[in-house]
Amino acid sequence: MIYFDNSATTPLCPEAKDAMTAAMEQFANPSSVHRAGFEAHQRLEEARKTVAKTLSCSPEEICFTSCGTEADNLALLGAVRALRRRGNTVITTDSEHPAVAETAKALEQEGLTLIRLKTRGGVLDLQEVKNAAAKGDVIAASLMHTNNETGAVYAVAEANRCIREANPNALIHCDCVQSYLKTPLSFSLLNADLISVSAHKIHGPKGVGALAVKKGVRIVPRLLGGGQEKALRSGTENTVGIAGFAAAAKAGWEGMQENAKRAREIKEAVCRGLRDHKKIFFNLPLGESSPYILSMQAQGYKSEVLLRMYSDAGICVSAGSACSAKTGKSPVLKAFGLSDREADCTLRLSFGAQNTLEEAEEFCRVTRTLVR
Ligand code: PLP
């Protein structure tokens, strides 16, 4: 099988498997006040240190969550609840993952003014950002770093700087689920206060993520209870998942450059291999793009049909994000500038640490037999 759907999820790496197996033996509650609990707590704090290192922040700034979606919800809703009296505007983009887009929509329904910055061609217009920021009553912003469907890497650091200059009190969130361990990330590199990541996109387990919360930033929690995670996210921690997350994060951190280099080679090999194909077109962002994601049109072929054909040939790709797979239409591809017809025949290839150049060549060979 060729698995080119790593933006949906990645296979578990051996380091994560080993760490999780070991953590299963250590069943105690990390909040318990006895020796076993203390040991579980120590493991949890070791994992926090490891994840913190990968975001160049301190362990106290890491809040473990149940997934990237929860981290996004906590960031945006938590920021708005904390600053509700200071203003009424939230800035986001028209290409966010549903974890942010739907949260922003809920805030709009509550009466907040939502500005969705355009991302045509996969780029932000900095003048549009400045105009939005100039409204002056912005309390929160959430601009994603790397788009999960097109691979566009947005100029978030610059955009966030503009927003912060005009709105010094605003809290700035960045959804980094698709860029985590693919490029260096930190509060200062992004000009952000809050950063979301997810374990299952980096060869860790599903059901665990983290929100990095910059020291001194106050947001209102969503889950109330026993006060775990510095009362930001109550609930007994998923110790097994977190152990797997940290092990995958360590491996991903150590292999970050090597993995990005290979992903770039694979992406280039696919583009090169199908460059002269009359029916294949690549939806390449006008600005920077992730080496891990390639959006491709097979003209005249509906993506759901082609998906099945690839699947029968032992190749896993997707039509867009796994999260919009059931609803069909992709607002992200529309925002990118594709017509409905172009979006309907778009596939997403996404690469991971386990993929090889031979797989890229095999993909091109199979494509030539399927798309004629
Ligand atoms: N944000 C982005 C950009 C994503 O691609 C995803 C998942 O595909 C998420 C958030 C949600 O992450 P999770 O699946 O861990 O909830």
pLDDT digits (tens, 9 = 90+) for 230-283: 999 999 999 999 999 999 999 999 999 999 999 999 999 999 999 999 999 999
> Does 326 have pLDDT greater than 70?
no
Q: To test the ligand 1 pocket, which listed residue (96, 103, 148, 156) has its Cβ within 8 A of the most ligand atoms?
A: 148
Q: Given pLDDT bands bounded at 50, 70 and 90, which one contains residue 329?
A: confident
What distance in Å separates the CA atoms of residue 273 and residue 142, rounded to the nearest whole number? 37
Q: Could you tell which of 201, 332, 348 is best to mutate to test the pocket of ligand 1, judged by most ligand atoms within 8 Å of the CB?
A: 201
* DSSP states along 318-341: BSS-GGGTTT---HHHHHHT--HH
Strand residue runs (E) in the chain: 2-3, 62-65, 89-93, 113-117, 138-142, 171-175, 194-198, 209-213, 280-282, 293-298, 315-316, 346-350
What pLDDT is attached to residue 348?
A: 98
Q: Which residues belong to the active site? A: 323
pLDDT of residue 325: 52
Residue 37 burial by CB count (10 A; 0-12/13-18/19+): exposed, middle or buried? Answer: middle
| AA identity, residue 122 | G
- Share the mean pLDDT of the chain: 96
> Residue 344's pLDDT is what?
95
Q: How confident is the model at residue 211 (pLDDT cuts 50, 70, 90)?
A: very high
Inter-CA distances, 73 with 40, 70, 77, 334, Å = 27, 5, 6, 24
Q: Residue 328 has what pLDDT?
A: 60
Q: Which residues contact 52 (CB under 8 A, 6 or more apart)?
A: 58, 59, 61, 62, 212
The pLDDT of 7-19, averaged and rounded, is 98
pLDDT over threshold 70, residue 321: no
Give the pLDDT mean for 71-95: 98
Mean pLDDT of 343-350: 96
pLDDT number for residue 136: 84
pLDDT at 277: 97
* Ligand 1 atom with the shortest distance to the CA of 99: 10
pLDDT single digits (tens) 123-144: 999 999 999 999 889 999 999 9
Please state the rounded mean pLDDT for residues 25-33.
96
pLDDT of residue 324: 52
Cα angle 258, 263, 266; round to 5: 130
Res. 327 pLDDT band, cuts 50 70 90? low
Judged against a pLDDT cut of 60, whether residue 322 lies above it is answered with no
Which residues lie with the beta carbon below 6 Å from any ligand 1 atom?
Answer: 67-69, 72, 97, 99, 144, 148, 175, 177-178, 198, 200, 209, 321, 323
Query: What percent of the chain clears pLDDT 90, i.e. is strictly above it?
Result: 96
Is this structure's pTM higher than 0.75?
A: yes
Is the pLDDT at 332 greater than 70, yes or no?
A: yes
